[in-house]
Structure 1
C-alpha cells in the first residue's frame, strides 16, 4: 500500500463506522492520507450488510474503506485504550462517529485527545449536534432524510412521501465532514493550532435542503413557503419518448428559443417567451414538453437537443455506469488486485495536476494491520514526511504538553 496525493504524510485515526465517517476518510485515503481504521473486535457493521466475496468484506464496506489499515482494539479494556492513546500522539486527524457521551466514557473526548496531541484536528460526526436537545437520539440516513424534508419534497413531486434512492444524508454529511476537516488542517498548517470540529447529519442536511427550498421563507415577513417550485413540480420527471425515456431541461431563454425554433410546438407562444414567465407556470411547461417528447425516439431527441446545446441525457441504470464511454475514457474506474480477486472501484472524481489522488488500495480484512500499526511500522514505503503540525506536536511533547 503506497500513498500519494495532496494529503500524503497526513495520518488519520479513524473511529467512524457505517457510511458517513468512512466515506469522508475513504476520500482522505485516496488523496494520500494514512488512514488507520480502529475497529471493535466484531468489526464495523458495514462489513456485513451487503454482498461480498467473503464474510466481513461486503461491497459497501470494501468501497468506503479501501486503502485503510484496520486495527482491532477493545477500547473498553485498559490495554486497548492505552494502545489508542499511543497512536493519538502522532496523529494529524482524529475522527469518530460515536455519540458524545459514548466517546467521553471511553476517555477519548476532545479534551483528553488534545491533552495528548495539542495540534490534532478532532472531528466529531454526529446525527444531531450535541449542543441541542436531540443530541442523544440515534440517527440513520432514513430518519435524517425525514427530518430535513426530503420525503415531504418527494410527496410534492410524486404525490407520495418517499426517500430518495440513495443514502444521501450519509454521503452529503461525509463530504461536509471532509471539507470541515480540511479547513481545520489548513488553519493548523498556517498557525500550528489544532481544534475541535463538529459535523451533524441533521444540520448538514437542513442546510443542504434549504439552499433552494428556503426561498420565500427566508424573508421577514415571509414571501411564501419554504419550497422551490421547479424542484417539486409534479411533471418534473424523465419524459417518455416513443421508445424509452429522456431527461431534458429546456431552461434559459437561449435554449428555449433554439428549441421552439427547431421543433415549432403548437403550444409555444409569447406567454412562455421568458424564463420569468415559464418559472411562474413551470409545471404546465413540463407537461407540454412531455407531450412533445412522446412523438419521437430517444435517440432522435438526443441528436436534436445536443445540436441545440440543450442539456439532455438518456435515462441509464446504475449498471450502465460501469460501461459508460465517458467514464471509461477518463479512466474513472480503477481495478485493484485483492486477495479475493480484482475489484473495479469507482475512482477519485477530483483531478490534480501535481498531486493526483488514486484508489489507495484494497479494503482491509478485520484487524489485518493491528500488529503492523502497533509496532510503529508506517503505512507507506517511504518515511512519513514531517509536516509543520507534526513538528508542533513534537515540540509540545518536549515541553511537557
Structure 2
C-alpha cells in the first residue's frame, strides 16, 4: 500500500526526458502506481543527464523518476504494442509525449485506448497544438523557449538571445499536465467517464509570456510596446553589498518607504518619482539605478538583519553551491540521502508541499531499466512463457 490521496490510481507512463516524468513523478509521490514504459535502450535522460556510477541513471533521471516501476517494451513489435494496450485497458491514466504520427503507429491514440477503457484518462503532452501548422514538429525545452519568446525576453534583459538556465518549459508544462489530469480524475469521480487531454508545450509557454509581457499591446488601439519594464530592466537583479549580493523587493509604498529609511534616504518617500506605486513604475529605471548603489557600504548579513527588522522583503543571493547549504533547506528536510540499488547513496529532493492527508509512504528509489518487467506483466495476467518471449525479443 502506497498511501497518499492517489493510492489505487494506476498510471501508464510513456514519457521520457523531463516534461512527462515531472508530471508522472508528482502522481507517484502522492500514491499513484506509475508504470514507466521504457524502450530497450531506456529513457534518453538516463544518459543525456550526465555520468553516474552505473552509467545508466544520470542525476536528472534520478530526480524525475522516483516512486515508479519500470518495464521494457519494444513498441516496434506487434506483441509489445498489444501488451501495452492490455496494460492501458486496466489503467486509470496514460501519459504520453510522442508526436502524433508515432501515437498512431503504436496504436496509442485516445480513440483506440478509450474505446477499450471508457474510464481511461488519456493525457498527451505535445510540442505543439493540433490543428496548427507546427502540429507534428519535434520539441524540446530549448525549442519551446526560443519559439515562445522566452529567449527573446532574455535578449532584452541581457543583450543577446539566451535560454533560461533551467528547463522552464518542461517543468511548467509538466505541472500544467498534473493540473489537467487531476481535473479529469475529479470529473470522472462525478460522471464515471474518462477524458482526453492535450497539453501543448508551445501554446502554454506562449500564453505565459503573452500574459506577462503583452503589456501596452494588450489594448486596442495599442498604448505602446511589449515587455513589462520592471522585469526587463537590466538593473532588475541581485544588488551588490560590501561582501556579496542580496535580493530585495520593495513593491508596496510601505515597503519602499521602509527601504528608503533603511538606506539613509528617507526624503525619497516625498520624491514624486518614488512616492507612489505608479511613480516608481513610471520611473523604474531611475528607481533600480538608485537601488543598485545603495547597499555597498554594509555586508549582506548586516542588510538582511536591517531589512528583516524593517519588514522589507529580502533574502540571501545563492549560487547553486550555496543553495545546498541554506539552513532553511535543512530545517524543512528537503534534502535526504537514500540508497539506490545500482547508484549507491544518492541525495533525494523531498516534496516541497505538504498535504494534510499525507503523501506516499513506501518510498521507492528511481527504477533500474526494466527492473519491474516480470512483476508488472505477471500482475496483468500474462503467463510466464509470454513474459519470457517478450523479454527475449529485447536481446
Whether the TM-score (by the shorter chain) exceeds 0.5 is yes
What are the residue-to-residue correspondences of 1:376-391 with 2, within 5 Å? 376=379
What are the residue-to-residue correspondences of 1:161-310 with 2, within 5 Å? 161-265=161-265, 268=268, 269-271=270-272, 272-310=274-312
What secondary structure is seen at the aligned counterpart in 2 of 1:344? Answer: strand
Mapped to 2, the partners of 1:358 and 1:24 lie a distance apart of 19
What are the residue-to-residue correspondences of 1:1-400 with 2, within 5 Å? 3-49=2-48, 50-265=50-265, 268=268, 269-271=270-272, 272-339=274-341, 340-357=343-360, 360-376=363-379
Conserved 8 A contact 2:239-2:247: yes
Mapped to 2, the partners of 1:299 and 1:61 lie a distance apart of 37
Conserved 8 A contact 1:351-1:357: no
What secondary structure is seen at the aligned counterpart in 2 of 1:225? Answer: coil
CA-based RMSD of the aligned residues comes to 1.7
Conserved 8 A contact 1:89-1:117: yes
Shift of 1:133: 0.7
Per-residue deviation, residues 179-212 of structure 1 (Å, max 9, x unmatched): 1111111111111111100001101111222232
Conserved 8 A contact 1:265-1:292: no
- How many residue pairs match? The answer is 377
Per-residue deviation, residues 244-271 of structure 1 (Å, max 9, x unmatched): 1111112210011112233332872422
Shift of 1:231: 0.5
Shift of 1:48: 0.4
Aligned to 2:387: none
What secondary structure is seen at the aligned counterpart in 1 of 2:294? Answer: helix
Of the structure 1 ranges 330-339 and 368-377, higher mean CA displacement relative to structure 2 is found in 330-339
Shift of 1:368: 0.6
Of the structure 1 ranges 320-329 and 191-200, higher mean CA displacement relative to structure 2 is found in 320-329
Mapped to 2, the partners of 1:149 and 1:171 lie a distance apart of 16
| Higher RCO by CA contacts (8 Å cutoff, separation 6 or greater) | 1
Of the structure 1 ranges 196-205 and 309-318, higher mean CA displacement relative to structure 2 is found in 309-318
Aligned to 1:386: none
Conserved 8 A contact 1:124-1:198: yes
Conserved 8 A contact 1:29-1:360: no
Mapped to 1, the partners of 2:361 and 2:315 lie a distance apart of 28
Where in structure 2 are there 5+ consecutive unaligned residues?
382-395
Aligned to 2:385: none
Of the structure 1 ranges 275-284 and 213-222, higher mean CA displacement relative to structure 2 is found in 213-222
Conserved 8 A contact 1:17-1:46: yes
Per-residue deviation, residues 35-57 of structure 1 (Å, max 9, x unmatched): 00011111110000112221211
Shift of 1:112: 0.8
Mapped to 1, the partners of 2:240 and 2:358 lie a distance apart of 44
Mapped to 2, the partners of 1:299 and 1:355 lie a distance apart of 37
Mapped to 2, the partners of 1:321 and 1:193 lie a distance apart of 45
Conserved 8 A contact 1:213-1:228: yes
Mapped to 2, the partners of 1:44 and 1:219 lie a distance apart of 46
Instruction: Give the TM-score normalised by the residue count of structure 2.
Output: 0.92
Mapped to 1, the partners of 2:185 and 2:119 lie a distance apart of 9
Conserved 8 A contact 2:29-2:359: no
What secondary structure is seen at the aligned counterpart in 2 of 1:114? Answer: helix
Mapped to 1, the partners of 2:283 and 2:275 lie a distance apart of 12
Shift of 1:64: 0.5
Mapped to 2, the partners of 1:328 and 1:42 lie a distance apart of 37
Instruction: Give the TM-score normalised by the residue count of structure 1.
Output: 0.90
Shift of 1:358: 5.9
Shift of 1:317: 1.7
Where in structure 1 are there 5+ consecutive unaligned residues?
379-401
